[in-house]
Amino acid sequence: MATVEELKLRVRELENELIKCKQRQAAAEDAHNRPRIDKMSAEVVDSNPYSRLMALKRMGIVDDYEKIRTFSVAVVGVGGVGSVTAEMLTRCGIGKLLLFDYDKVELAIMNRLFFQPHQAGLSKVEAAEHTLRNINPDVAFETHNYNITTLDNFTHFMDRISRGGLEEGRAVDLVLSCVDNFEARMAINTACNELGQIWMESGVSENAVSGHIQLIIPGETACFACAPPLVVAANIDEKTLKREGVCAASLPTTMGVVAGILVQNVLKYLLKFGTVSYYLGYNAMQDFFPTMAMKANPQCSDRHCRRQQEDFKKKEAERPKVEAAQEEEEEIVHEDNEWGIELVSEVTDAELRAASGTVPDLPEGITVAYTIPAEETASGETVEETEVSLEDLMAQMRKL
Amino acid sequence: MATVEELKLRVRELENELIKCKQRQAAAEDAHNRPRIDKMSAEVVDSNPYSRLMALKRMGIVDDYEKIRTFSVAVVGVGGVGSVTAEMLTRCGIGKLLLFDYDKVELAIMNRLFFQPHQAGLSKVEAAEHTLRNINPDVAFETHNYNITTLDNFTHFMDRISRGGLEEGRAVDLVLSCVDNFEARMAINTACNELGQIWMESGVSENAVSGHIQLIIPGETACFACAPPLVVAANIDEKTLKREGVCAASLPTTMGVVAGILVQNVLKYLLKFGTVSYYLGYNAMQDFFPTMAMKANPQCSDRHCRRQQEDFKKKEAERPKVEAAQEEEEEIVHEDNEWGIELVSEVTDAELRAASGTVPDLPEGITVAYTIPAEETASGETVEETEVSLEDLMAQMRKL
């Protein structure tokens, strides 16, 4: 039988072992963090996570890199494109990120970057926030684990993008659509048209080998209701696309490239360098990257888009002539970024349909995601007279 | 004073607590793993990490996706481009990855994707292997924490790429250069020329806003000694580039795009779909993606390159005419991928130099990384007679 002394020794041993075990655990958790950094520095030391971003100033690329901390960006959809988009913005030191998604992490998405197998079962926004906060604790995060297309959530989403900026009450600087379905895209389009919120759209084809990004300035460039959304021509059998209930293909390469060109466009837009692209496509089969731009359609079915167009026209008219001329010159940095096409009443729905999926005037390599069914033109109702609600739009989209 | 009974109780409590603590630790470590999967399946269930890759078959993009498991790829340089490259290949389910790097993870590289702050201080290959194995335990990994340009390591590197394939003794299927300096690129070039090993090069400019990938088939396409390496024209002040001791700028966007187009090219090459690019550039300022191709230079200073050219010529001559004609037709899928330029003796070094950094015939947006100094042409020695060693080449490069 053990003596009191032996037992005391054993207690001390066990206590020490337990302390060590707990310390190891705490260390493992702490190790995921770095201390916050109050002020971005350009100092070239191994411990400075911002030195290579601040070097963009010395290289003559960006005038004021520190300004990145004053911006807030909403990322809607934290999947193959959205998660990498959020990670890039986090590593660039963006001020605030708002993440919206209602999906869970599954092993089935391990073929794209970002999420890891041990996160399976967690909500995407929760898992993403945890990883991103570890990567850069200087970024403010706000996550919403819901579907933005339901009525209540849509109202809340509108509120957050109009008031959830870096200082509460201010709008976000940019909304990024990284969703994988039409309903969600239309919800973002509707919200941004109503709020006059500038946003960027991104998409990857269901065959995984093409994608695009698009900048939408309400009232100025075509919104999602102005014209059928543009996609990169697949050059492959269209019948394989968009079949109900069939698992879409995806590749980490295509999604990584699309996230890369999306966030590059965000950085160029926010930090004012280079040429911001209105539309940039990616055809991975041929390594072809078409660009273009498209004006807003005066007969757009979204009344808020038409109102924004009126406001834009007024502002343009009020602008001093000299300034306007200067800006025009600045905008046309290379010819691909001039306004390419005007999709207005000259192109009827019937003509679109007759073109069997392709609007004739689009640049090589770009096509439309769908054409408008003939039934709609036959109704006799002009687009101008219709006040289409979000619900109507969604119902229409579901049919397509 | 405690009784024996009290002490025994305390011992039991502590033992239980310690067991629980160790279990939590083990669970935390285990959570990072998923079980291995023997056979890739196309089954559409949440738990299948390959369903969306296998869907490429149903979508008509890839004939035999499972073949990915039979390939081994060496990634030299596990930095901003190499780490993402390795992650993409891991998530795609590549058979084996060989990683070469001698650098450590530092907070200063947290502005690019992949590494996390808690890995600071670890070797890049060690940290990368740990993360990648957790992401996909079906991939075989081999890591080498050394600088390939020293004599002993170079010999070992040659041995591993020629014998470190999926089955020991077989060569790897592809070598990817993701290094950030000229010496390492030249070492890879020398090794691949000697072994007749097909490889792909990648690079990102020091101002962070351009990059490129290039496919090099020894004897067929221009190697790194055939002509000055091609880079995307910066269109900005060249004086800001390549200053000694100054921290280069880098962006997760540019590096993510370059890794994406690199691995896409790898997948197209290994799995035989789409058009494999010989050279694809990325100019982030203008969203411009030039493509081109360049034949090997018969007067290349690398004797192994010249030997490979002779072998290639013989093989071409031996090929049945019909087959040759068919292949030619297949290769020219779009005009940018035809052979663009022949950099042979028509262009003298003096002419290159006179062009002040730009070879006149290069497609818009592409330029050379450097021009050859006039001293070398003045020596009277013809390139044909020189047997340049690796050391000589490196010494020359250092001077440039």
Cβ <8 Å between A252 and B207: no
pLDDT surpasses 50 at B202: yes
Gap between the Cα atoms of A251 and A244, Å rounded:
20
| The pLDDT value given to residue A395 | 55
Gap between the Cα atoms of A218 and A305, Å rounded:
6
Cβ <8 Å between B111 and A52: yes
Which residue among B91, B106, B260 sits closest to A257, beta carbon to beta carbon?
B260
Gap between the Cα atoms of A124 and A145, Å rounded:
8
Closest alpha carbon to B311 in B301, B323, B296:
B296
Determine the distance in angstroms separating the CA of A312 from the nearest CA of chain B, rounded to an integer: 26
Task: Decide if B279 contacts B213 (C-beta within 8 A).
Answer: yes
List C-alpha distances in Å: B62 to A284, B54, B333. Answer: 13, 9, 17
| The pLDDT value given to residue A182 | 87
| The pLDDT value given to residue A332 | 33
The SS3 of residue B231 is strand
| The pLDDT value given to residue A400 | 46
Task: Decide if B358 contacts B234 (C-beta within 8 A).
Answer: no
Closest alpha carbon to B81 in B210, B171, B193:
B210
Cβ <8 Å between B48 and A248: no
| The pLDDT value given to residue B20 | 86
pLDDT surpasses 70 at A242: no
Task: Decide if B262 contacts B176 (C-beta within 8 A).
Answer: yes
Q: Annotated active-site positions of B, please? A: 247
Closest alpha carbon to A344 in A295, A301, A286:
A295
pLDDT band at A121 (very low <50, low <70, confident <90, very high): very high
pLDDT surpasses 70 at B312: yes
In tens, the pLDDT along A29-78 reads: 655 578 899 999 999 999 999 999 999 999 999 999 999 999 999 999 99
Cβ <8 Å between A251 and B334: no
Q: Give buried/exposed letters for A159-197 (b at 16+ CB in 10 A, else e).
A: ebbbebbeeeeebbbbbbbbbbebbbbbbbbbbbbbbbb
CATH numbers and ranges of domains, chain A: 71-317 (3.40.50.720)
Q: Please list, in sequence order, all residues whose beta carbon lies within 8 angstroms of the beta carbon of residue A369, skipping any fewer than 6 positions away.
A: A228, A229, A230, A231
In tens, the pLDDT along B238-283 reads: 443 344 456 789 999 999 999 999 999 999 999 999 999 999 999 9
In tens, the pLDDT along B136-195 reads: 999 999 999 999 999 999 999 999 999 999 999 999 999 999 999 889 999 999 999 999
pLDDT surpasses 50 at B357: no
Closest alpha carbon to B393 in B148, B156, B183:
B183
Both tokens of B92, joined, read 């795609």
Which residue among B17, B92, B284 sits closest to A18, beta carbon to beta carbon?
B17
Determine the distance in angstroms separating the CA of A40 from the nearest CA of chain B, rounded to an integer: 12
pLDDT (mean) for B323-343: 39
Task: Decide if B1 contacts A5 (C-beta within 8 A).
Answer: no
Length of chain A equals 400
Q: Which of A21, A223, A247, A300 is catalytic?
A: A247
* A146-160, A254-268, A357-371: the lowest-pLDDT one: A357-371
pLDDT band at A309 (very low <50, low <70, confident <90, very high): very high
* A156-160, A170-174, B25-29, B266-270: the lowest-pLDDT one: B25-29
pLDDT surpasses 80 at A367: no
User: Is residue A60 less than 8 Å (CB to CB) from chain B?
Assistant: yes
| The pLDDT value given to residue B368 | 66
Determine the distance in angstroms separating the CA of A230 from the nearest CA of chain B, rounded to an integer: 18
Structural Rg of chain A based on CA atoms:
25
| The pLDDT value given to residue A25 | 72
| The pLDDT value given to residue B33 | 72
Q: What amino acid is encoded at A32 in this protein?
A: H
pLDDT band at B384 (very low <50, low <70, confident <90, very high): very low
Cβ <8 Å between B44 and A87: no
In tens, the pLDDT along A161-215 reads: 999 999 999 999 999 999 998 899 999 999 999 999 999 999 999 999 999 999 9
ipTM score above 0.90:
no
User: Is residue B264 less than 8 Å (CB to CB) from chain A?
Assistant: yes
Gap between the Cα atoms of A141 and B366, Å rounded:
41
Q: Which residues share a beta bridge with A368? A: A230
Nearest residue of B to residue A14 by CA position? Answer: B14
pLDDT band at B204 (very low <50, low <70, confident <90, very high): very high
Task: Decide if A337 contacts A275 (C-beta within 8 A).
Answer: yes
Cβ <8 Å between A253 and B237: no
Residues 342-361 of B with CB under 8 A from A: none
User: Is residue A139 less than 8 Å (CB to CB) from chain B?
Assistant: no
Task: Decide if A205 contacts A241 (C-beta within 8 A).
Answer: yes
Q: Which residues share a beta bridge with A97? A: A73, A141
| The pLDDT value given to residue A359 | 43
Q: Indicate the pTM of the whole model.
A: 0.80
Determine the distance in angstroms separating the CA of A338 from the nearest CA of chain B, rounded to an integer: 13
| The pLDDT value given to residue A391 | 52
pLDDT band at A373 (very low <50, low <70, confident <90, very high): very low
Q: Please count the helices (runs of H) and the strands (runs of E) in chain A.
A: 12, 10
Q: Please list, in sequence order, all residues whose beta carbon lies within 8 angstroms of the beta carbon of residue A135, skipping any fewer than 6 positions away.
A: A87, A90, A91, B110, B116, B117
Cβ <8 Å between B116 and A108: no
Give me the DSSP letters along B75-105. EE--STTHHHHHHHHHHTT-SEEEEE---B-
Compute, in degrees rounded to 10, the torsion defined by CA atoms A253, A275, A217, A146. 30
Residue A312's CB is within 10 A of a number of other CB atoms, namely: 17
